[in-house]
Amino acid sequence: MKMAPSAKKHAEQSWVIPGGFTVLPLKYSSDSVSQHSLYVKEHRVRAEKTTSRPLDRTLFVLNIPPYCSEEIIKDLFSTFGKVQSVELREKPGTTESSDLKLSKYFRPALTKGFSVGYVVFTSPSGVKAAKSHPRDIPLIVSTENHPVKVGIQKWIQQYRQSLINPEKLQAAVDTFMQGYDQKKEEESERQKEAEEDDEGWVKVTRGVRGSKARPHSEMANQRALQKEDKKRKRKELLNFYTWQHRQTQREHIAELRRKFEEDKQRIAVLRAQRKFRPY
Amino acid sequence: CKKRRTRLSQDAHVENSDPSSHGEEEEDEEELPTPSKATKTEDHASEESVPRPQKLSKGELYKPPTAEELHQLKEAESLFHCNLLKMQMEELLKEVVLSERRKRLVDSFIMKIKALLQNVPQTREVELNDHSWISEGVKVPFLWVPKTTKGKFHMAPPASVSLVGSYPLGTCTKPSVSVDLSVIMPPVRQDASLSQGTPSRTRTPDPPESRTRSNLLCHRAPPIPETVVFKENCNAAGAGLMYSNSLTVKIHVYPPPGFFKPSLFHPKRNNVRTHWYTGLEAPQPDAVGPPTPHYNSSLLGDVLPKAHLQFLSAISAQCSAFGEAVALLKVWLRQRQLDRGAGCFSGFVGSMLVAYLLSSHRVSNSMTAYQLLRNSLHFLASTDLTKNGITLAKNPDSKPTLHEFHSTFQVVFVDPSGYLNLCADMTANTYKQVQNEASLSLQFWDDPTVDGFQALLMTPKPLIRTCDHVFQLHGLVKLQASCKKLNLLGELMDHGGDYVLTALPFILSLLQLGLGKRIHLLTHSLTADPEWSVDSEPPKHKDQTPLSFGLLLNPEHSSSVLERGPPADSPEAAEFRQLWGPRAELRRFQDGAITEAVLWGGSSACQKRLVPREIITHLLQLHADIPESCVRYVGGLFDDVIKIGTGEEESLKVVQSFDDLSRKLWQLEDLPLSITSVQAAHPALRYTQVFPPVPQKLDYSFFEQDKQSRALVPHKDKPCPVFIPPLQVICHMEGSGKWPHERLAIRHVKAAFHIRLGELLRKQHMYTCSTTPTHVDVYKDGLIFRIQVAYHREPQVLRESIGPDGLLRYRDNEEAQALEMETLHRPYLTSTLHGLQQQHPSFGVTCRLAKRWLAAQLFSDEVDEDAADLLVASLFLQPVPFTPPSSPQVGFLRFLHLLSSFDWKNCPLVVNFNSQLTASDYVEIKNNFIASRESLPVMFIATPKDKKVSIWTKQGPSVQMLQRLIVVASESLRVLEAQLLDPSQNQDVRVALRPPLDMYDVLIHLNPKYVPLLDQAVDPPHITFSRGTVPGSAPSTRGLLPVIDFNPVSLYLAELRDAFGHLALFFCDPYGGTVIAVLWKPQAFKAQPFKTSQMSARCVEVSGDEAHSLPNVEAILEDFRIMGDALVRKVEPRMENWVV
């Protein structure tokens, strides 16, 4: 709450570029020489209906440096108001719902490059405060109170985290598989129900799973066609009639000519590259 | 210094004063004003007439053929694999045969020379010793020993001047065009001067030589402004004038016909008096000295050229393809470096050979050049001229028999006169080399999978790239001592004191005997004919270029440390002892036999490979008095570069440990599904890891410990711990209905398998394991095996999707490809290469050298390990025109040559494992390649399992990087070959492994403390760090889990590429490199319009209503430091290379 009035005071100094993004300078530490710029804007997408990014309270942030994790961004943006959640992504876009449900062991790894973020504040005022942040006061990522781990320290920490307790992993697998089995069962139940037609008749088919569960595939189509072709070829008589024989000879000579022409062409290419100088 | 006047021959060269000419036709045209315009238009016209690619219309294709066309097509089909080879040979002939224009130029020049020679003025007689008449600045062109020779001579106009040799015959070829000009001395005068000059006219005919010289000196008169260079030519007489760099005119001075009786030159006759030669009074003046066959044949060679020309002209007139066949044979010989130098298989011998085949009706006059060449090679391959000599002489009576020739010469090919051995100076080893080359050529000639034309006629085969091991004798003066030791006075006299040529055959046979089964072939370089300018002293024998010898090793025996001789009591034992001297000793073997034997040193594989060196130096020292310091053995100079420990033994241990693990996996009980295969998928498991992992005992106090998982964790205040690479093992599980049919579920099931595997291995075999969802790491014998469970249907599941029409369809995607690569292709490649290593013991080491080079030159991210291994494998599977490399050194050199010379743009590189691909497959690959060249990787490698895609080079290199790779490879090859062949150069092969860094834009210097592989750096580091290891062997089971795959450098590189990969390229030597080189991409600094998806590391510039973004370079440079905190020592922007 303290930050809000001060931000207002400098409001005229905030830098909004064409496209509607506000530029927030960001430094790694107070003694850094250079600074990155974050580009922020309120999140506004027409089609989006997910509850995780409420339109009025979500701030869309571009160009977040690799050393900023979700916690650090949460810390940084707390100055503008209470942050409810932070989501970092490689590229702007909607989330895939299936990934979210996975346990941490199976989630796809985040890339270690620059990212975009969706910062959700508890109240819309946070978004406003962020957008009116003055251009000459940079955000500081690593402070004495909250040092950020980078380089060797970070990699050691990562290594430590990569050690996984097999029991926990097993538990995660079990939960997923239970859910999966349940889903499968439900599906087959539904299918069974669907097969029962209006009058209560059940169509009895051969396979239990195979033929019914999977639709007809492209591959099978092609294979059938090839088989036909082969069959036809086998039945044909070769060089049986005189005209057939003459035909094959004609074809042979034509083939030789075509090859000759091809070779001439190849030689021409090679000659153009001076490929015949032995030394 | 010994006397050298035994030759009639002095070559002199006149060099064009204009140094800019390089034999290029275009340049010639500019220099020579006369007919240039006409020829230029002619050339242009010929280029125009290049057959344009055209599609034949249906009518043309099916029109009735004429008889001639039919014949032509049929011939092409039956003679050649395709028209291509025929046309290629025709094109080649066009390149080497002299053009009409060139001939005119040559003719006009010859006319000038002729006129000059004809006008030599008559001079008064002077004493031979009197040099006062020689114009100033000109030196006597031979060693004037002994000084006291008496005799008089004078100059006289020649009786006739005429052309001989290949030029009038029409078999003269580019590039080294040489024209032989014979100058016949006036008969009477000459006779007189001869009789005055020497006691007998058959002895030491110096005067002609002097005359030659004086002739040449005359040529320095104003009419020809060129400088004269003398050249001594060993096998044919001659004095050369060199005209520009592309034409040599050799002036030979011959005595008049009938001056010498041929019978004087019977190989058994003596023509050099010992007392004359040595300067000592002979005890018995009438005693006949030892026969002087070489001297005789060199004299005789001077007498006969005219007769030879007539003979060859007669043959050539009967057979129309004779000239072309000889030209092809000459190209073939030249590419194999057999056609020049003392004792060479010259073009002249080649044409005589073709003439022999024609005159003995082994080939018919109507054959084409192609057939003649083929038959000549076949004849060479099948006929051993060292045992069964051939002769062109018609009526053998009263002429020396072949038997007599064989007793004096090593190789016998007698000319039509019946007295001259055309191969007099050739050593048996040189002929064996010719034979070997011929049979090799015939082997691949018919192989449709080989580009025969390239291999046969277009690929040069220098000694250093052909032979597995090479050694040089420098300090040739030592050979003088060996002549004495070998008691070769008679032979020395025969060779006119040239102790190098005298000793050579004896040294060769000695080494051949000593090396025995270890080698397939022992070859040697042919000493080049020395050349010197007229105003300098002639070179001495010891100044000659060092002799190079090459060994083709027999990998089965070459590195055995034991030389087992005959039983102690057999008569051969004495011989054996005599050969090996003090190294021979009696040994008792396990089978109870007591035999003579020699035991050579060497415990590791790379030391054993150098056993031939030990043998050679020992034998040369013992029998020829050549000290070890004179032998420069080039066979294992690269070993150092990849040596930490010894390498090969470590690889073997790794593979053994894997085999054990594999067995244990198969036998695991209580797995829900059974294992169907356990496959290795890591270079270390196929012997090609540059630095194979070495098990080490760990000092636990060096690390922090993670209590929960009983694992070691690196300590942040200590140097980076030892790097332990995980070795991938793919474990296929049996297919079963229990496997789910959905990607996420499969991943979870695999994770469950990993957990189970880990548990079982821990329980049943006490191994420490660490489980993750994607793999399980097993700590065994100090190594980490990373076992990955695979399900063979998974890639298919990943590809499945249901189309809008309800059909199940398969669409390829990257995820599926990556998975197939990991679980299918890489294990297969690993096992195939493992098999290749079993066939070719030097395969693995060659791969390691090649990859070390690639890494050192910062290419390891462009050409990945698998692709590099494939490239090396191609050298072993398709070595033509070479033999498969039997030493890592030659393999490495050929690797560099392959990189630098292969035509990546137009040809696919086919690696034919186990000869699975047939000729039709090759055609298919090639056609497919041509059809879709644009979309295929720039470096296209096809294998039996992968004919269309080249999966291993999909990711790289890019066109630019390949270009750079080619440049660097050819430069490295040049530097290395020069260094290996030239004893005067400093031997530091590491030169080729130090990359030039000046082209990069930013250098990031790393702190060596955190570079775990520092010890593997090209140049050994000054400081070393404790890496948490203690001496002792690693526990084979149990123990805390070590730090696996923790390499800050690669972690840092991955982060850099993720963050800035769109702006810059990052290069680093993964083996101990302490510098990361950064190169901005060409388009990096271009301003782009503001886009939300492309704002990484960019800053905005607003101009009016539009916002543009540029890379925030200052911040990026600082990020380099921040992201690599503690690892990065310094970020050094090279501002001279770039501006923002």
Distance from CA of B36 to the nearest CA of A (A): 21
Residue B972 has pLDDT above 70, yes or no: yes
pLDDT in tens, B845-887: 999 999 999 999 999 988 989 999 999 999 999 998 899 999 9
Among B61, B69, B805, the residue to mutate for chain A (most A Cβ within 10 A):
B61
CB B1049 within 8 A of CB B1006: yes
Which is more confident, B353 or B110? Answer: B353
Average pLDDT over chain B, rounded to an integer: 81
Distance from CA of A87 to the nearest CA of B (A): 16
Could you please report the per-residue DSSP string of B425-461? Answer: T--HHHHHHHHHHHHHHHHHHT-TTS-HHIIIII---
Interface A:B, Cβ pairs < 8 A: 249
pLDDT at B807: 74
d(CA B205, CA B760): 93
| Residues B1118, A28: C-beta atoms closer than 8 Å | yes
Question: What average pLDDT does this structure show over A71-78?
Answer: 88
**Which helix H or strand E contains B790, and what residues bound it?**
strand B783-790
Which is more confident, B791 or A261? Answer: B791
pLDDT at B677: 93
Distance from CA of A6 to the nearest CA of B (A): 26
Which residues have a Cβ under 8 Å from the Cβ of B762 and sit 6 or more positions away?
B768, B769
Residue B742 has pLDDT above 80, yes or no: yes
Exposed e or buried b per residue across A65-90, where buried means at least 16 C-beta atoms within 10 angstroms of its C-beta: bbbbbbebbbbbbebbbebbebbbee
Q: CA angle B540-B546-B551, nearest 5°?
A: 150
Question: What average pLDDT does this structure show over A168-173?
Answer: 91
Lowest pLDDT segment from A191-205, B398-412, B1076-1090: A191-205
Q: What tokens does B1045 get? A: 């795959």
Among B337, B1096, B1105, B1116, the residue to mutate for chain A (most A Cβ within 10 A):
B1096
Distance from CA of B1055 to the nearest CA of A (A): 5
Nearest to A260 among B83, B1102, B1118 (CB): B83
Distance from CA of A236 to the nearest CA of B (A): 24
Nearest to B706 among A163, A177, A256 (CB): A163
Residue B87 contacts A where some CB pair is shorter than 8 Å: yes
pLDDT at B152: 63
Chain A partners within 8 Å of B1041 (Cβ): 163
Chain A partners within 8 Å of B1125 (Cβ): 150-154
Q: How confident is the model at residue B137 (pLDDT cuts 50, 70, 90)?
A: low
pLDDT at B357: 94
Q: CA angle B267-B269-B275, nearest 5°?
A: 130
What percent of chain B has pLDDT above 70? Answer: 82
pLDDT at B206: 36
pLDDT in tens, B441-468: 998 887 878 888 888 888 899 999 999 9
Q: Which among B276, B268, B138 has a CA at the least distance from the CA of B205?
A: B276
pLDDT at B195: 29
Q: Which long-range contacts (CB under 8 A, 24 or more apart) does B317-323 make?
A: B318/B358, B318/B365, B319/B358, B319/B365, B319/B366, B319/B367, B319/B372, B320/B365, B321/B367, B321/B368, B321/B369, B321/B371, B321/B372, B322/B171, B322/B351, B322/B354, B322/B355, B322/B358, B322/B372, B323/B169, B323/B170, B323/B171
Question: What average pLDDT does this structure show over A201-212?
Answer: 58
Q: Which among B609, B525, B593, B614 has a CA at the least distance from the CA of B560?
A: B609
Place of tokens 């506004």: A44
pLDDT at B660: 94
Q: How confident is the model at residue A47 (pLDDT cuts 50, 70, 90)?
A: low
pLDDT at A277: 76
Question: What average pLDDT does this structure show over B256-283?
Answer: 69
Which residues have a Cβ under 8 Å from the Cβ of B416 and sit 6 or more positions away?
B307, B308, B311, B392, B393, B394
Q: What share of chain B is helix, strand, coil (3-state, %, to 5)?
A: 45, 15, 40
pLDDT at B790: 94
Lowest pLDDT segment from B84-88, B138-142, B390-394, B935-939: B138-142
Q: How confident is the model at residue B819 (pLDDT cuts 50, 70, 90)?
A: very high
Which is more confident, B44 or B775? Answer: B775
SS (H, E, C) B851-885: HHHHHHCCCCCCCCHHHHHHHHHHHHHCCCCCCCC
Chain B partners within 8 Å of A90 (Cβ): none
| Residues B1125, A150: C-beta atoms closer than 8 Å | yes
Nearest to A271 among B91, B711, B1126 (CB): B91
| Residues A92, B1097: C-beta atoms closer than 8 Å | no
Distance from CA of B318 to the nearest CA of A (A): 28
Distance from CA of A42 to the nearest CA of B (A): 13
pLDDT in tens, B328-368: 999 999 999 898 888 889 889 999 999 999 999 999 988 88
Positive or negative, the CA dihedral B623, B626, B632, B636 is: positive
For B556, B572, B575, B596, B974, the CA distances from B566, given in Å and listed in that order, are: 21, 6, 9, 6, 46
The residue in chain A having the minimum alpha-carbon distance to the alpha carbon of residue B748 is A173
Among A177, A221, A271, the residue to mutate for chain B (most B Cβ within 10 A):
A271
Q: Which among B446, B504, B431 has a CA at the least distance from the CA of B80?
A: B446
| Residues A177, B94: C-beta atoms closer than 8 Å | no
| Residues B1124, A151: C-beta atoms closer than 8 Å | yes
Chain A partners within 8 Å of B51 (Cβ): 264-265, 267-268
Q: How confident is the model at residue B85 (pLDDT cuts 50, 70, 90)?
A: confident
Residue B207 has pLDDT above 50, yes or no: no
First to last CA, chain B: 69
- What single letter denotes the amino acid at residue B474? H
Distance from CA of A178 to the nearest CA of B (A): 10
pLDDT at A48: 60
- What single letter denotes the amino acid at residue A136? D
Distance from CA of A175 to the nearest CA of B (A): 10
Question: What average pLDDT does this structure show over B614-643?
Answer: 86
* ipTM score assigned to the predicted complex: 0.82
Among B24, B748, B801, the residue to mutate for chain A (most A Cβ within 10 A):
B748
pLDDT at B209: 41
Chain A partners within 8 Å of B70 (Cβ): 253
| Residues A263, B91: C-beta atoms closer than 8 Å | no
Which residues have a Cβ under 8 Å from the Cβ of A109 and sit 6 or more positions away?
none
pLDDT in tens, B764-794: 999 999 999 999 999 998 899 999 999 999 9
First to last CA, chain A: 83
Nearest to B1119 among A65, A214, A256 (CB): A65
Chain B partners within 8 Å of A40 (Cβ): none
| Residues B1112, A177: C-beta atoms closer than 8 Å | no
d(CA A97, CA A52): 11
φ and ψ at residue B242, rounded to 5 degrees: -105, 130
- What single letter denotes the amino acid at residue B387? K
φ and ψ at residue B326, rounded to 5 degrees: -65, -40
Lowest pLDDT segment from A3-7, A208-212, B374-378, B1049-1053: A3-7
- What single letter denotes the amino acid at residue B808? L
Q: What tokens does A158 get? A: 């990562």
Residue B643 has pLDDT above 50, yes or no: yes
Positive or negative, the CA dihedral B734, B735, B740, B742 is: positive
Residue A46 has pLDDT above 80, yes or no: no
Lowest pLDDT segment from A101-110, A126-135, B167-176, B466-475: A101-110
**How much is the CA Rg of chain B, to the nearest whole Å?**
36
CB B444 within 8 A of CB B528: no
Residue A228 has pLDDT above 60, yes or no: yes
pLDDT in tens, B144-188: 455 555 566 666 777 788 888 888 888 888 777 888 888 777 764
Chain A partners within 8 Å of B672 (Cβ): none
Q: What tokens does B882 get? A: 């070479």
DSSP state at residue B680: E
Residue B44 has pLDDT above 70, yes or no: no
State whether residue B759 is helix, strand or coil. Answer: helix
Among A60, A63, A255, the residue to mutate for chain B (most B Cβ within 10 A):
A63
Residue B504 contacts A where some CB pair is shorter than 8 Å: no
State whether residue B906 is helix, strand or coil. Answer: coil
d(CA A49, CA A47): 6
pLDDT at B883: 92
The residue in chain B having the minimum alpha-carbon distance to the alpha carbon of residue A102 is B744
d(CA B455, CA B443): 11
pLDDT in tens, B61-83: 777 777 777 777 776 666 555 55
Chain B partners within 8 Å of A98 (Cβ): 744
Question: What average pLDDT does this structure show over B1099-1123?
Answer: 87
Chain B partners within 8 Å of A23 (Cβ): 1100
Q: Which long-range contacts (CB under 8 A, 24 or more apart) does A51-54 make?
A: A52/A85, A52/A87, A52/A95, A52/A118, A52/A120, A53/A87, A53/A118, A53/A120, A54/A120
Q: Which among B1113, B1131, B1112, B1111 has a CA at the least distance from the CA of B1121?
A: B1131
Q: Is the peptide bond before A65 cis (omega within 30 degrees of 0)?
A: no
pLDDT at B534: 63
CB B763 within 8 A of CB B703: no
**Which helix H or strand E contains B229, and what residues bound it?**
strand B227-231
The residue in chain B having the minimum alpha-carbon distance to the alpha carbon of residue A41 is B1092
pLDDT in tens, B911-929: 999 989 988 899 899 889 9
